[in-house]
Structure 1
């Protein structure tokens, strides 16, 4: 099940659901809306998500949200490193940009 969670698919699904990433929105604080958004994403990756047992649903949802967290954190680290290199005057061309930088431009 979890092997088919690809960043190329996950990132646009999260982007379409601002409740998961846009902290400027009032709805960002609504846990019910966030759970519904994650459920929608789970259903994309696992069409029979609603038919799974509760423990399987929880595990699968955790895998997806963890995958997103890792992607987001790696992106934020790469931005921080870019800023640090610019500030220090180091050659920024020595490192490649984060592989999903363009896809995560909404963040």
Structure 2
């Protein structure tokens, strides 16, 4: 996977890498409410049971990531150059930093 590249540079608005913990909590809440509903239902009513709607267990807007945005490669290069200018001391160090940033942003 060291050579895998992102086909489209779309990134989430977040400081979190993934929504794994949010999805895990959401599924726990959803399953707990389903179990409670099934436990309290009469045996005759189980055939008529309708599962909970997705939004009844949680809100997608309260998760860590809040939307996505397109980050064009040209803007990525400009941002990498600006960061390298600020942090790099020598031309060689600036070039290595720019290259490292671009590789990190474009990998999966």
Instruction: Establish whether TM, by shorter chain, passes 0.5.
Output: no
Structure with the greater alpha carbon radius of gyration = 2
Q: As a proportion of its length, which structure holds more strand?
A: 2
TM-score (structure 2 length as normaliser): 0.30
